[in-house]
Amino acid sequence: MTQHDQLHRYLFENYAVRGELVTVSETLEQILANHTYPQPVKTVLAELLVATSLLTATLKFAGDITVQLQGMALYSWR
């Protein structure tokens, strides 16, 4: 069963607590279905998807967000 992507903001008015809850299961399943990535790459892709979802929901600007990673090439999956 596929969950839909969701982003919910919450605020506890009497406390200094606020946050956002993100679910990106549907989009992540679509991304991972097209490639055979190893588990570490799948994990990083999931984290980046959540991070960019939070950034685009939180930042107020007109434009695009681009995320780029650079590593030490400790492994290759191709």
- Convert the pLDDT of each residue in 40-51 to its tens digit: 889 999 999 999
List, for residues 15-60, the tens digit of each pLDDT value. Answer: 999 899 999 999 999 999 998 998 988 999 999 999 999 988 888 8
Q: Is the pLDDT of residue 1 over 60?
A: no
Query: What pLDDT, on the 0 to 100 scale, is given for residue 42?
Result: 93
- Domain of residue 57 covers 1-78
Q: Indicate the pTM of the whole model.
A: 0.74
Q: Cα–Cα distance between 69 and 51 in angstroms, integer?
A: 13
Q: Which amino acid is at 71?
A: G
* 3-state SS assignment for residue 23: strand
State the total domains in the chain.
1
Beta-carbon contacts of 18 under 8 Å, excluding residues fewer than 6 positions away, are 9, 10, 11, 12
